[in-house]
Amino acid sequence: MSSFIAAVRFLTVVPIGGSRADNPRAVATSPAFFPIVGLAIGLALGVLDLGLAQVLPGNVGAAIVVAAMIAVTGALHLDGLADAADGLFGGKTAERRRAIMKDPAVGVFGASAVGAVLLIKWTAISELDSWERFAALAVAPMLGRTAALLLVRAFPYTNATGLGSLYERPGIALMWLPFVFTIAVSSLVFGAWAAVILIPVAIVAFAFGKFAASRLGGRLSGDIYGASSELGEVVSLIIVVALVEGGAGVSALWS
């Protein structure tokens, strides 16, 4: 339970008991709960959207849901996306790129990346209706956190004393469990179409990790992990929209 609480406290602004700073072991094993926390966030967003749909046009509701996405996470992953974009595209050496990513100021690359991601999210959500929209909102945050978890497992962390270094402890050796959870939930919601969503999310996340590692001297940072979460959400939403437009989508599960 302490690991789950640490995951909730790290990924959201929900004020629940416990402290990740006082329990390093809980932090070390908390990534196993990232997909579960992501699913909880998604379900809450889906319920919010269903309520908004009763009184507001779909595009207005989508804007509020995107704002809620930012609020519930304290803009944690968007901050990582902004820093990652500035660093990866704004420096000439790995050392300089890492220094830029540590700078709290947001540059043109970071602002552009955040703006593009928010616009894509709003547009994708606005294109969906009813239970297909609910399903996309419920699953996207889970897939985003799973994408970040994939990078945590696949690439080393830059700072040996940073928070992300705790995730490399032996306590998370069995990280296959959260991946199984993600696959199971996605399959339950989307049926056979889950593979069409999961595979591109994994490919994009891994490709982004490889690119970032090549630009940062082979090692990643917490900003990259956060950026991968945003990318995972965006890719999953885009694919769901494409499936719906192509006549597939969650409706195939019950047909």
pLDDT at 255: 45
Question: Token pair of 32, please?
Answer: 């196993």
- Return d(Cα 166, Cα 118) in angstroms, integer: 30
pLDDT at 21: 41
- Return the closest-CA partner of residue 7 out of 239, 229, 219: 229
pLDDT at 170: 39
Question: Token pair of 225, please?
Answer: 């992990």
Encode the chain (255 residues) as per-residue pLDDT tens digits: 777 888 888 888 888 765 444 566 666 677 888 999 999 999 999 999 999 999 999 999 999 999 999 999 999 999 999 999 999 998 889 999 999 998 888 999 999 999 999 999 999 999 998 889 999 999 999 999 999 988 888 776 665 544 455 454 434 445 678 899 999 999 999 988 999 999 999 999 999 999 999 999 887 888 999 999 999 999 999 999 999 888 765 555 444
pLDDT at 90: 87
pLDDT at 221: 84
pLDDT at 27: 67
pLDDT at 226: 92
pLDDT at 152: 82
